[in-house]
Amino acid sequence: MITIVEHFPVLVIAISLLSAFTILLAGYLNKRACWVISFTTILVQLVMSIFILHHVLTVGIIDYKLGGWAPPWGIQYVVDALNAYFLVLLLFLALVCVTYSKRSIEHELPDKIVSFYVLFQLLVTGLCGVTVTGDIFNMYVFIEIYSLAAYALIASRGGIALKASFTYLVLGAIGACFFLLGIGFLYSVTGSLNMYDLSCILKAGGLYSNRVVLAAFVFFTVGLSIKMALFPVHVWLPDAHSFAPSEISAMLSGIIIEVSTYAFIRVCFSVYTIDFIKLWPIFDFICWVAALAIIIGSVLAIAQYNLKRMLAYSSVSQMGYIMLAVGLSISTHHELWGGLTPALMHILNHALMKGCLFLAAGAFIYKAELWNIGDLAGLARKMPYTCFGFTLAAISMIGVPPTVGFMSKVYIILASLDAAKAGHTPYIIFVAVLLFSTLLNLVYFWRVIETMYMKSGEGSHSAPPKKDEIPLSMLIPVLTLASLCIIFGILWLMEIPMPMLDQVNALFGLGRYAIP
Amino acid sequence: MMEEMIPVTYRPLLAILCPAIGSILIVLCGKWPNIREAWTLLASILQFLFIFSMVPVVIGGNIIRSTLFTAFPGVDFGFRVDAFGLIFAITSTFLWILVSSYSIGYMRSLHEHAQTRYYFCFAWAIFGAVGIALSGNLLTMFVFYEILTVSTYPLVAHDQTPEALFAGRKYLAYLLTAGVFFLAAVILTYHLTGTTEFVNGGIPNLAAEASRTTLMVLFMLFLLGFMKAAWMPFHSWLPTAMAAPTPVSALLHAVAVVKAGVFGIIRVVCFIFGVDLMHALGLGLVLISIAIFTLIVANLFALAQDNLKKRLAYSTINQLSLIIFGAALLTPEGIEGAMMHIPFHGFMKITLFMCAGAIMVASGKRNISDMAGIGRVMPVTMIAFTIGSLGMCALPPTAGYITHHFFVHGCVEAGGTTSYFPYILLIVAMLDVMYFFPIIYTAFFEHTQEQEEGENSIKEAPLFMLVPIAITAICSIIFFFYPDMFHISKLVETAVTSLFGGAHP
């Protein structure tokens, strides 16, 4: 007898998909209904995902067989601590963005409201699907669903955004092709598509050194690297982030590229397992690439004068942080910062910070079409709350204690030291890379803060400009995320136990659960 | 009475919270300047009382510990109030009361803009400084250290002119870079020893866990981390930061921020490495070399300045190195002098800066060459200035003499080559005389055109500014006759005794 919560994984996707079509129909009757339906759906999904997380932590892994077909033939949804964590995070950010979008879309895309919400709901469907599925082909399908929705959403502004969307389309399609090729190669060797089944066959058959299996792994890695904009295949990201509507930029940077990281973690640890990873110096390679990404992303960010573009390059750098933490995960064994904990922690932290920054940047565009950093002069007097939110998140990106950015930085540094001690001596360089990146972050974020607060805009010497804040439904998301940057920072600092992170490590045999 | 009312372990937290809560009230009451300033004064007085109420407990040889939570295994986030920390805390909080009053006079006289932001950031800067003073380990200290850096930026860039913005940028570039080095040092210490706690005599297992080279690197990281101490060649942020309003230069760039730097260095020397390990590694000599270089070069730079605040800034750099010098002697008397010089120099230098600000408010003059005859126009201010200058030159009857006495004793105690170092101190003091006495001469013995024609009217700064100046100047003299005011000398003795065991007389 399965409990109602065990139906939730499939319900999360089903209601989301149905709601997308409902919005389409309802939108023809009344445009205002779109936002209400979308908001309600995501809220319900979020509540469900919290129940799922609770169930996973207290009872155990949810294993749902779609249509009652037994795996490996039927599609199986497996939700463990890792998916549940991602699901909650992704739906929370989606909720924040959809709240924000109400007024901003009315203003920016007044004649595309219906299609925006349909696509947004499809995007959420795809993202949820990737996180809950336990079948690798099903994962590919969902990746395509959310990617297609994202291409369209990025293009929604028209004009130059079309070019950005097209670049993303081409590169995204190449990435997806690689992923599909990987699946095909694996299938040709194992004859299975179910992740758990695959891992069993690979292990039992001693296929870890099989050339085809290796090639498949390379395809997965390359494909997902493009999707998650890991340097040097990040070229689609700056355009896509800067020309998309801001709530979509927030989603793109905050969760969409991280979902690809999730897929990568899943493929590495659930399909190929830790034994395979340890056989080849794959994660070693990833670490170094990620370190390069951290530095080059930041340097490129310094060179930007468009605010959203700067944030986009910062995302490239932050993706480096996440992948560095992922790369370190197999060589760290500490109970607190061993295993995937720093990576998962930074994914949450980055979603909070970057979400806030992009939403604030969107607010500047909403109010006065301010795209460039130079235009922001004296804005702190006009929009004090938005600027305050932006500043909190920016300070967090720099990594000033006690914000989330500081905690990520400390955890990743400690993990690098741990790995260096465990035999990878050159990893000590990552400590320097991370600290140096702090300074680079400082350079480009402080420039913005200084312009907002310290420089005066035109004509401000005569009379202080009148306050001109964004509507409350946009301000609340910005301030919520900004305050969470501090609250979560203090929570991490207080070492509030995050049982799901520990469970993830236990699941994959990482961190303190690693077999020496 | 207070003992029963508030358990002693809560007091560090309450003391820290005063400026934090004060800052919120300041912002809320931003539209009513009088109420806003009342909050500043109230927060400063309350904070001083909380800090001061801990003195009897600490003099009794106790250390007040209050842990808020555990951040990492072996690292608590919390406070550990010992005699040394209390000295710094008393200095900052007491002077905050006076500077608050001075700020009111200064900011209103000059009709400065963004006063709410100013008071708000000032409160947070004090929050950071007192946090550093009371913190129990390196991690806690780091958190407050960064808060101090970030919260002082808006104060430095207050004018919002291109020069002020440049100063602010330079300030952040130096101090946040320092923060990165500090963080690296903290993490390395934790990685090596599994703790970051301040321990009398150093972390016991530090020497055993790391090679000689690693320890050297660690010490250099710490030194770079404490760029706030403005040791040369990493000093140039301090003269640039003089673009800030004068109360900021007075409290933050003569007391809170820069003293946080030297405070940190002494903490590392005595409570992380420990005197014995410093000796064994020969790091004392490294530190002495840096200090002496700065002592002399800073004074030479000071000679060349015509802007009064800039000259004072170089004098500050010089005096900070004197504190580092005392600590680097690694002898009880030397460290005693270093610890004692933190409050003494604070009182004397704040007098000088407040005088400079008073001159600016009353006459608009910034350069020394314009100050002919100003002693006749502003007698109280310039007498206070003279007292402060005497202190800088280590002449009696001022507090400066007392600490130099300790430094000389410390040199002798260290023996060897070090016993010749008092001559260097003598040269430095002579350089001090060379750039302070001309100011006094110009002020009292030169005349302006009008004064020669017999016109002479007294035009002092507002009382809000004059009273704090008088108080700090008088304190600088009282310290000479009675160093135990605010229990400073008792606290220093307690601190040194606990460091060197009972052996010290």
- Predicted confidence band of residue A1 (pLDDT cuts 50, 70, 90): low
- Out of A421, A438, A456, the one facing B180 most closely (by C-beta) is A438
Q: Where are the beta strands (DSSP E) in A327-441?
A: none
Host domain of residue B428:
2-503
Examine the pLDDT at A421 and tell me if it is beyond 90: no
Instruction: For residue B55, give the nearest of B100, B98, B96, B94 by alpha carbon.
Output: B94
pLDDT over 70 at B3, yes or no: no
**Which is nearest to B386 in space by CA: B320, B461, B319, B437?**
B437
Confidence label for B504 from pLDDT (cuts 50, 70 and 90): very low
**Interface residue of B149, B172, B181 to substitute, partner A, most A CBs within 10 Å:** B172
Each residue's pLDDT tens digit, B193-236 = 888 888 888 888 888 888 888 899 999 999 999 999 888 889 88
Do B93 and B48 meet the contact criterion of CB atoms below 8 Å apart?
yes
Predicted local distance difference test score (pLDDT) of residue B502 = 54
Residue B76's DSSP bridge partners are B70
A445 vs A368, which has greater pLDDT?
Answer: A445
For residue B84, give the nearest of B388, B338, B448, B434 by alpha carbon.
B338
Q: CA–CA separation, B137 vs A430, rounded Å? A: 25
Instruction: Provide the number of structural domains found in chain B.
Output: 1
pLDDT band per the 50, 70, 90 thresholds, residue A145: very high
User: Residue range A374-389: average pLDDT?
Assistant: 86
CA nearest to B160, candidates A450, A367, A172, A82: A450
Asked if residues B107 and B37 have their Cβ atoms less than 8 Å apart, the reply is no
User: For the residues A168-196, what does the mean pLDDT come to?
Assistant: 92
Quick one: average pLDDT of A255-263? 92
Q: Does B76 touch chain A (CB under 8 A)?
A: no
Does B364 touch chain A if contact means CB atoms closer than 8 Å? no
User: What secondary structure, in 3-state letters, does A53-112 show?
Assistant: HHHHHHCCCEEEEHHHCCCCCCCEEEECHHHHHHHHHHHHHHHHHHHHHHHHHHHHCHHH
Convert the pLDDT of each residue in A105-118 to its tens digit.
888 888 888 899 99
Q: pLDDT confidence of B505, banded at 50, 70, 90?
A: very low
Of all residues in chain B, the one with the smallest CA distance to A419 is B191
What does the alpha-carbon distance between residue A236 and residue A166 come to, in Å, rounded to a whole number?
A: 9
Q: How many CB pairs under 8 A join A and B?
A: 66
How near does any CA of chain B get to the CA of A362, in Å? 26
Q: What are residue B81's DSSP bridge partners? A: B64
Q: pLDDT value at position A457?
A: 63
Which residues of chain B neighbour A417 with C-beta distances below 8 Å? Answer: 187-188, 191
Q: Which residues in chain B have their CB less than 8 angstroms from residue A433's CB?
A: none
pLDDT at position B493: 87
Mean pLDDT of chain B: 87
To the nearest whole percent, how much of chain B has pLDDT over 90? Answer: 30
For B112-165, write each residue's pLDDT tens digit. 888 888 899 999 999 999 999 999 889 899 999 999 998 999 899 888 888 888
- Lowest mean per-residue pLDDT among A237-241, B56-60, B235-239: B56-60
Largest CA distance in chain A: 79
- Give the angle subtended at the CA of A231 by the CAs of A417 and A173, to the nearest 5°: 135
Predicted TM-score (pTM) of this structure: 0.87
Look at residue B65 and give its three-state secondary structure.
strand
Q: Is the pLDDT of residue B107 over 90?
A: no
Residue A402 has pLDDT above 70, yes or no: yes
ipTM given for this complex? 0.80
pLDDT at A129: 93
pLDDT of residue B263: 93
* Cα gap B105→B80, rounded to integer Å: 36
CB contact under 8 A, B142 and A400: no
Q: Which amino acid is at A486?
A: I
Residues 6+ apart with CB under 8 A from B304: none
Predicted pLDDT at A480: 93
Alpha-carbon gap: A439 to the closest alpha carbon of chain B (Å)? 7
How many whole angstroms separate alpha carbon B351 and alpha carbon B294?
23
CA distance B80 to B57: 13
Joined tokens for residue B375: 């002693």
Quote the distance between the C-alpha of residue A28 and its chain's center. 32
- Alpha helices, DSSP H only, in B60-114? 83-109
Mind listing the pLDDT tens digit for each residue in A317-363?
999 999 999 999 888 888 888 888 899 999 999 999 999 999 999 99
Beta bridge partners of B65: B80
**Which pLDDT score, from 0 to 100, does residue B397 have?**
85
Average pLDDT for chain A? 88
Torsion B360-B361-B364-B370 (CA) sign: negative
Q: What is the pLDDT of residue A311?
A: 92
What pLDDT is attached to residue A458? 57
The secondary structure of residue B370, as a DSSP letter, is G
Long-range Cβ contact pairs of A280-284 (< 8 A, separation 24 or more): A280/A214, A282/A217, A282/A221, A283/A326, A283/A327, A283/A328, A283/A329, A283/A330, A283/A331, A284/A327, A284/A424
